[in-house]
Chain A
C-alpha cells in the first residue's frame, strides 16, 4: 500500500530533551516536506527536500533540523525542544514539487513540550 508513515504518533517531552520524528514514504517520491499545524494558522512549512542530500528551509525553520540521506526517509529533529514547538506535525511527499501536483500526507505527530 502506497503511504507516508510517521513515528511516533504522539509524544510528550520536556524542554531541552532532543527528539526525532521519523517520516518514511514508499512511493519513490523525490519531494518531501515537514509542516506544522496550529489553530488558525493552517499548515506552515518547516523544511523541505527536493531530493537526496538536498534540503532547504521553509517558512518556520527555527529550532528544527532535517536530513535526507535516503530517498524514502526524511526525519525531523528538534535538538532542544521548547514549549512553542508544541504542535501537530505532518510529513508530506510528492513525486515532484507541490507547486505542480498533489502532496501525500502522513498521519501526523502530536507533540507536547512541557
Chain B
C-alpha cells in the first residue's frame, strides 16, 4: 500500500545550524505535502505545506522542496533555535477510488525528533 518514509528518525543540531529532514512517498498521484510540528505534550500543528505544481516554498526560516520525479520532499530549517526542538511529521496526500467510492486523506511519515542544542 501507500506509505511515506522519513529520515532521520532523530536529529541533533547546534543552535544556529541548519536542519534537514527528508521524506519519500510511494503514490505518484500525491499532490499535497504538509509538514506538521509537534512540541512535547502538544498537538501537531501545520508549519508549511507545498503542492505538486510548486518546487519550493519558503516561510521565514523554514522551506520545503519537492522533487516529483524522485518522489521525495524535504524540510529545511535554517538558523535553528531551541524552540525548534520538536517532532516533525511529513505527510503526502492519497486519493483512492474503489468502485463507487473515492476518498482522500494524507499518510503521515513516522516522524523526526529534532533537538536544538543551545
Contacts and interface: CB of A to CB of B under 8 A. Distances in A.
Interface in A67-114: 90, 97-103, 105-108
Interface stretch (A11-19, A20-28, A35-43): A35-43
B105 A42 contact: no
Q: Is the interface of B mostly helix, strand, loop or mixed?
A: strand
A91 to B, nearest CB: 10
Contacts, number: 61
A59 B44 CA distance: 19
Interface string B90-117: 0001110000010111111111000000
B105 A33 contact: yes
Nearest to A40: B110
B44 A90 contact: yes
A50 B49 CA distance: 22
B40 to A, nearest CB: 12
Contacts of A106: 43
Interface magnitude class on chain B: 20 to 34
B45 A105 contact: yes
B109 A99 contact: no
B34 A102 contact: yes
A83 B111 CA distance: 24
A59 B103 CA distance: 12
B73 interface: no
Given A44-B108, A56-B101, A90-B44, 15 more contacts: A33-B105, A41-B110, A42-B6, A42-B89, A42-B108, A45-B105, A58-B105, A59-B107, A90-B43, A97-B103, A99-B31, A99-B104, A102-B34, A103-B106, A105-B43
25 contacts: A40-B110, A40-B111, A42-B6, A42-B89, A42-B111, A43-B89, A43-B108, A44-B108, A50-B103, A97-B103, A97-B104, A98-B34, A98-B104, A98-B105, A99-B105, A100-B32, A100-B104, A102-B34, A102-B46, A102-B49, A103-B46, A105-B43, A105-B44, A107-B43, A108-B43
